[in-house]
Amino acid sequence: MKLDIAVMDGDDIGHEIVPEAVAVMEAALEAESGPDVTFHRLPAGWKSYLEHGHTLPPETLKRLHEMHGIVLGPIGHAAYPKDRPECINPHPIIRKRLDLFANLRPARSHSSLPHLHDHVDVLVIRENNEGFQPDRNMMAGCGEFQPGPDSAFSVRVITRTQSERVAHEAFQAARRRGGKRRVTAIHKRTVFKLTDGLFMDSVHTVAKEYKDIVLDDHQVDTFAMLLVMRPQEFDVVLCTNLFGDILSDQAAGLVGGLGVAPGLNVGDAQAMAQATHGSAPDIAGKGVANPYAMIVSAQMLLAWLGAKHHDDRLERAARRIDSAVERTISEGRYLTPDIGGTASTHDMGSAIARACTHLLVT
């Protein structure tokens, strides 16, 4: 089949790391003699505002619905003007409109890169479209309100439907990963008796369908401590939105930081590769941004598309990228400064792309 993948550079270092990720994908796909994938470059972010008058033009959003997959670079929305409705943060809108209900954020330590713990291989899966985040929990209006100068309130939304959907994603991921075959659900149900109570009830309901997967759970504060002390014990970590956002960054800190923290937003029909780090305006244009997280996010997208469409070539292309990243890191010649090297963004990306063409992958 023919697949269409949208590519949006985003802001700042996105214009440097996204082209490297796409070049790596193209090299891996070419090495597998297909499949037929077309990349469509669409405007989004500040450059889009300057050229088209909107950070997420309606035409871009319309085209995204036609895509099988998406690659989105980091967005520097914190610097956008606050008084212009056309300067919106694109990624929560995309996640909501395309119903990308789960966010997969792996953290894996590499022996040749700086890290705090050896043998870490954790996948944090967070619900993506509700929770405390005010830009995702209301159809209209805002999930935060301030009735007076000295009081402000936030609304948290937890639904059984979304909790069960993300739970299924977590159990299926644990099954795919093999290994520990374990899901750890995170909550604070002693305090959030209704919302976290509903979440955990939903998780336990779904767990009955996965007898081969072990389910355990932790209060979020206890788990934050255990993740620092003994991260090797955990496999798939299932969270509501805000807890997962925080804990996935903590997990990244254990293995080298956000520069090695990829991510994939998944729905029933589409998925979007999006590294978890920001747009790093302080180093934009210097050619030193680490492309690892963006490249591995793209690798995750190909693996998801391969499984979704039952295409072995896509899955082999994804394994090819994974092996190429491992080889490039272990050799150590083409690493960016943040992970101990002197290479440029392009040098590291090109090294991974070259490795994709030379590896034997089964």
Pick the CATH number of 116-255 from 3.30.365.10, 3.30.420.10, 2.40.160.20, 3.40.718.10: 3.40.718.10
Q: Residues with Cβ < 8 Å from 9, sequence gap 6 or more?
A: 15, 18, 19, 41, 44, 45, 47, 73
* Core vs surface per residue 59-89: b (16+ CB within 10 A) or e: ebbebbeebbbbbbbbbbbeebeeeeeebbb
CA angle 274, 278, 282 (to 5 degrees): 140
Task: Name the E strands within the chain.
Answer: 2-8, 36-41, 69-72, 102-108, 121-127, 144-148, 151-154, 182-187, 214-219, 236-239, 264-266, 271-273
What average pLDDT does the segment 107-112 reach? 92
Tens digit of each residue's pLDDT (9 = 90 or more) over 65-99: 999 999 999 999 988 998 899 999 999 999 999 99
Whole-angstrom distance, CA of residue 90 vs CA of residue 113: 32
pLDDT digits (tens, 9 = 90+) for 283-306: 999 999 999 999 999 999 999 999
The proportion of the chain whose per-residue pLDDT surpasses 90, expressed as a percent, equals: 90
Q: What is the mean pLDDT of residues 29-46?
A: 93
Q: Residue 138: its pLDDT value, please?
A: 79
What confidence tier does 362 reach under pLDDT thresholds 50, 70, 90? Answer: low
Q: Which residue has the tokens 């409705």?
A: 85
C-beta separation of 140 from 155 below 8 A: no
At 223-264, the pLDDT tens digits run: 999 999 999 999 999 999 999 999 999 999 999 999 999 999
Nearest in space to 251 (alpha carbons), one of 264, 261, 240, 239: 261
Domain-by-domain residue ranges, the chain?
1-104+260-362, 116-255
Fold of 1-104+260-362: Isopropylmalate Dehydrogenase (3.40.718)
